[in-house]
Amino acid sequence: MTKENKELADNDPLGSLDPLISQNIPDGVDRRTFLMRSAVVGATAVMTGRFVSAQERTERSTAAPPLAPDLNVVKKSKGPVMTTIDEFYKVGPGPSSSHTIGPMRITYDFYQRASKLPADKLAKATALKVHLFGSLSATGKGHGTERASLAGIVGKEPATVDPLFLDSLRDKPDQSFPVKLGTATFNVTLKDVIYDATKGDFKHPNTMICKLMAGNEVLLEQEYYSVGGGFIEWKGYTPPKKNAPKYPFATMKELRAHADNNKLSIAQVMLANEMSIAGRTQEEVFAFVDKIINAMVATVKSGLSMPEDDVLPGPIKLHSKAATVYKRAMDDKYESDRGIGALSAYALAASEENGRGHLVITAPTGGSAGVMPALVYGLGEGGRKLPLQKIRDGMLAAAAVGYLCKHHATLSAAEGGCQAEIGVASSMAAALVATAYDAPSRVVENAAESALEHHLGMTCDPVAGYVQVPCIERCAFGAVKAWTAYAIASNEIASRHRVDFDATVQALAQTAKDMNSKYKETSEAGLALSVVLC
Ligand code: SF4
């Protein structure tokens, strides 16, 4: 800044033009957004009479804190996709895979680590503390993160925890539970889960620190990250060693090349990889897939069986509508409207179960847990009654879509907004439907691409931090969009589809990077700001 301009700037918010015209646009921020936000900040300075420096303006214009580059989820050169189906589809309590399933896995993991300490150390243990940071702290209360964290400490795992245990913690928050570590026994309560700083220099927006204490002395401390979809990492994390995939791929293009060159479907390529990476038989892979299909069907049925107008937990007092939408759909005189109504009702049913904190399946996350089950149920016993094998194949193709989104972008709303949750779920569901109807690999890709494309930019702004508004209805829209994507993809000339899936995943990653942090599961903006609860 020139001397003259500095003097002006010191006294007058419009005094210097230098900060307005000489800033470098930071990495990961698009020029238009940067300039727009910068201009807004400048205008604010005029209105408030407070000078805003170029540096401050830059910081406020970029807003979203960067993720640490050494996190496995953000590493660029990752080689082929190595995710396996049992890591991806997880059963656990709603309402959010990153805010309930992830934290429960984290505290369960920490308890296991603590139990391996030498006996003399364990004998001194007096307390176990869990600190929640970033988005976990900002919206954890609405997600029941503290209850999930406590459940993990007392040895409960997401897939087998009784949701009634979590309900009882909500209804009687003062309960205490004994924790036994070696010869030491001490009690833990919800007060041992601490809502810590919401803003700071975290490696990931969903950061937790677990500590085993002896009075004021720390016996063991571990920093963890709930990186989306129930996946967890920790400081010093290295991915587990696995066998090489039979058909290595890192992009949809490579995956489709394997399928086409070997005259296989995408599902068959995925099955071969599951068997080689995890060392499982075909029967074992399908046994797991069947378990997930059954759990998805159960969550839809359970949601539909709830009384009409049941009120979901939390301050929104949201009335459930799955049963009503289903009944009205069945009475509709138009067959097409019955189909759309029923599909929406199935998605609402599973998503409302998530809102109740009941068991759901990450596909890819808890917030989006209504989308895939709606299509699984609709293609199977709830509607089309396709053979089980078709749905199994669809689940494998859907997993490929989810793996690729995780590999190159994110499944975490705290990193990428709702496009990373409902957008990916819808894309997976489109691949499921196309595969179940024996569509060629290019059509499967096009359906998945189309569903993802039309969710790009969608923000995450859960009202009051509860995964209910907009989440529950959004699952219904995600399910219907998946069907629309399949309808378009199976009726166009596949080779004329102009956008390939890999390009759209890149757009997902870049949009996630550019999105203002307020729209990443912080409940600081969007509907969370404009909807006033009374
Ligand atoms: S708005 Fe979307 S991403 Fe955010 S909590 Fe709801 S479902 Fe999840």
Helix H, strand E, coil C: the string for 204-247 is CCCEEEEEEEECCEEEEEEEEEEEECCEEEECCCCCCCCCCCCC
Work out the average pLDDT over 421-429: 98
Q: Which amino acid is at 346?
A: Y
Q: Which amino acid is at 467?
A: V
Which residue has the CA at smallest separation from atom 8 of ligand 1?
Answer: 367
Average pLDDT, the chain: 89
For residue 456, name the pLDDT band (cuts at 50, 70, 90): very high
The answer, yes or no, to whether any atom of ligand 1 lies below 6 A from the CB of 445, is no
At 194 the pLDDT is 98
Count Cα neighbours of 187 within 13 Å in the Cβ-side half-sphere: 7
At 69 the pLDDT is 72
For Cα atoms 68, 69, 70, give the angle at the middle one, nearest 5 degrees. Answer: 95
Residue in 411, 467, 520 to alter for ligand 1 test, most ligand atoms within 8 A of Cβ: 467
Peptide bond into 95 cis (omega under 30): yes
At 534 the pLDDT is 79
The answer, yes or no, to whether any atom of ligand 1 lies below 6 A from the CB of 460, is yes
Beta bridge partners of 194: 131
Helix 388-408 and helix 371-379, axial crossing angle in degrees, nearest 10: 160
More confident residue, 335 or 3: 335
How large is the C-alpha radius of gyration of the chain?
A: 24
Ligand 1 atom with least separation from CA of 417: 3
Q: What is the pLDDT of residues 280-323, one digit of tens each?
A: 999 999 999 999 999 999 999 999 999 998 999 999 999 999 99
Residue in 421, 511, 530 to alter for ligand 1 test, most ligand atoms within 8 A of Cβ: 421
Q: What is the pLDDT of residues 225-266, one digit of tens each?
A: 999 889 999 999 998 899 999 999 999 999 999 999 999 999
The answer, yes or no, to whether any atom of ligand 1 lies below 6 A from the CB of 370, is no
The answer, yes or no, to whether any atom of ligand 1 lies below 6 A from the CB of 479, is no
The answer to which of 7-16, 380-389, 493-502 has the lowest mean pLDDT is 7-16
More confident residue, 341 or 20: 341
Work out the average pLDDT over 332-341: 95
In the chain, % of residues over pLDDT 70: 86
Secondary structure in 3-state letters for 66-108: CCCCCCHHHCCCCCCCCCCHHHHCCEEECCCHHHHHHHHHHHH
CA of 520 to the centre of ligand 1 (A): 9
The Cα 522–Cα 463 span in angstroms is 10
Residue in 368, 469, 518, 527 to alter for ligand 1 test, most ligand atoms within 8 A of Cβ: 368
Whether pTM exceeds 0.85? no
The Cα 269–Cα 258 span in angstroms is 7
The answer, yes or no, to whether any atom of ligand 1 lies below 6 A from the CB of 413, is yes
CA of 95 to the centre of ligand 1 (A): 10
CA of 402 to the centre of ligand 1 (A): 17
The answer, yes or no, to whether any atom of ligand 1 lies below 6 A from the CB of 414, is no
The answer, yes or no, to whether any atom of ligand 1 lies below 6 A from the CB of 470, is yes
Ligand 1 atom with least separation from CA of 474: 7
Q: What is the pLDDT of residues 91-125, one digit of tens each?
A: 999 998 899 999 999 999 999 999 999 999 999 99
Work out the average pLDDT over 189-199: 96
Residue in 135, 354, 410, 422 to alter for ligand 1 test, most ligand atoms within 8 A of Cβ: 422
The Cα 533–Cα 184 span in angstroms is 46
- DSSP assignment of 41-70 equals HHHHHHHHT----HHHHHHHHH-SPPPPTT
CA of 474 to the centre of ligand 1 (A): 8
CA of 460 to the centre of ligand 1 (A): 5
Closest CA to 485 of 526, 457, 444, 530: 444
At 77 the pLDDT is 55
- Residue 35 clears pLDDT 70, i.e. is over it: no
At 344 the pLDDT is 98
The answer to which of 21-25, 255-259, 503-507 has the lowest mean pLDDT is 21-25
Work out the average pLDDT over 150-179: 93
Q: What is the pLDDT of residues 69-84, one digit of tens each?
A: 777 666 655 799 999 9
In the chain, % of residues over pLDDT 90: 80
CA of 253 to the centre of ligand 1 (A): 29
The answer, yes or no, to whether any atom of ligand 1 lies below 6 A from the CB of 367, is yes
- Residue 55 clears pLDDT 50, i.e. is over it: no
Residue in 96, 136, 418, 519 to alter for ligand 1 test, most ligand atoms within 8 A of Cβ: 418
- Residue 15 clears pLDDT 90, i.e. is over it: no
The answer, yes or no, to whether any atom of ligand 1 lies below 6 A from the CB of 134, is no
Work out the average pLDDT over 22-44: 43
At 78 the pLDDT is 72
At 143 the pLDDT is 87
Take residue 261 and report the two structure tokens written for it: 């060159």
At 66 the pLDDT is 64
Which residue has the CA at smallest separation from atom 2 of ligand 1?
Answer: 418
Contact 300, 345 (CB under 8 A): no
Quick check: helix, strand or coil at residue 284?
helix
At 325 the pLDDT is 98
Work out the average pLDDT over 396-408: 97
The answer, yes or no, to whether any atom of ligand 1 lies below 6 A from the CB of 421, is yes
Ligand 1 atom with least separation from CA of 459: 1
Q: What is the pLDDT of residues 138-149, one digit of tens each?
A: 989 888 999 999
